[in-house]
């Protein structure tokens, strides 16, 4: 079947079997490997992307289900000249990562969180990030990065 999407601002059409997951299209067909697969069960959040303005876990969504949608991956956040999105810059500056495997999903979830909850408190940030698992850190620098990114996005 054919699936039409706008991915990181570019219109694309892909031919896929009906059982193809969105994460497979992104990683295997479009070579956007910043979207990670960590658990295959939508538990860890490493595969988080933005679909039509809302964060989703791309490992449990069929490509056919997002036909006609606008998808933003981690590769689509930075500006064309390489300037990082405020949330990406905040994660870098606040050391909101360790091994980096969860980072792309954390950043995408944090962008969505700040868009829909621009005045989230530390407790709310922790609660709203519950769908993303980091196996390396104690989350303190992740929360700090989200707070910094939140302030930069509001400015």
Asked, for residue 64, whether it belongs to a domain, the answer is yes
* Number of domains comprising the chain: 2
Asked, for residue 19, whether it belongs to a domain, the answer is yes
5-64 pLDDT, tens digit each: 999 999 999 999 999 999 999 999 999 999 999 888 888 999 999 999 999 999 999 999
Instruction: Specify the pLDDT at position 42.
Output: 87
CA within 13 Å, CB half, 133: 9
Mean pLDDT value of segment 98-107: 92
Residue 98's pLDDT band (boundaries 50, 70, 90)? confident
Asked, for residue 27, whether it belongs to a domain, the answer is yes
Instruction: Specify the pLDDT at position 82.
Output: 94
Range of the domain at 107: 86-154
One domain, residues 67 and 7: yes
**Nearest Cα to Cα of residue 45 among 132, 124, 147, 151:** 132
* Last residue within a domain, chosen from 75, 110, 134: 75
One domain, residues 90 and 71: no
* Last residue within a domain, chosen from 20, 40, 75: 75
Asked, for residue 81, whether it belongs to a domain, the answer is no
Query: What is the CATH number for 134?
Result: 1.10.150.120
Asked, for residue 41, whether it belongs to a domain, the answer is yes
Instruction: Specify the pLDDT at position 41.
Output: 87
Asked, for residue 115, whether it belongs to a domain, the answer is yes
Instruction: Specify the pLDDT at position 136.
Output: 86
One domain, residues 9 and 67: yes
Judge whether residue 138 has pLDDT over 80: no
Asked, for residue 23, whether it belongs to a domain, the answer is yes
């Amino acid at each position: 079947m054919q699936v039409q999407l706008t991915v990181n601002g570019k219109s694309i059409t892909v031919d896929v079997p009906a059982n193809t997951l969105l994460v497979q299209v992104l990683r295997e067909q479009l070579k956007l490997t910043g979207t990670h697969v960590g658990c295959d069960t939508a538990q860890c959040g490493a595969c988080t992307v933005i679909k039509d303005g809302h964060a989703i876990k791309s490992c449990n969504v069929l490509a056919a289900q997002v036909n006609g949608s606008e998808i933003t991956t981690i590769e689509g956040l930075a500006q064309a000249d390489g300037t990082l999105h405020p949330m990406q810059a905040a994660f870098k500056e606040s050391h909101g990562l360790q091994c980096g495997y969860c980072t792309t999903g954390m950043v995408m979830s944090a962008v969505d969180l700040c868009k829909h909850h621009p005045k989230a408190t530390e407790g709310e940030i922790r609660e709203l990030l519950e769908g993303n698992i980091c196996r390396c850190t104690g989350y303190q620098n992740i929360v700090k990065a989200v707070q910094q990114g939140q302030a930069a996005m509001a400015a």
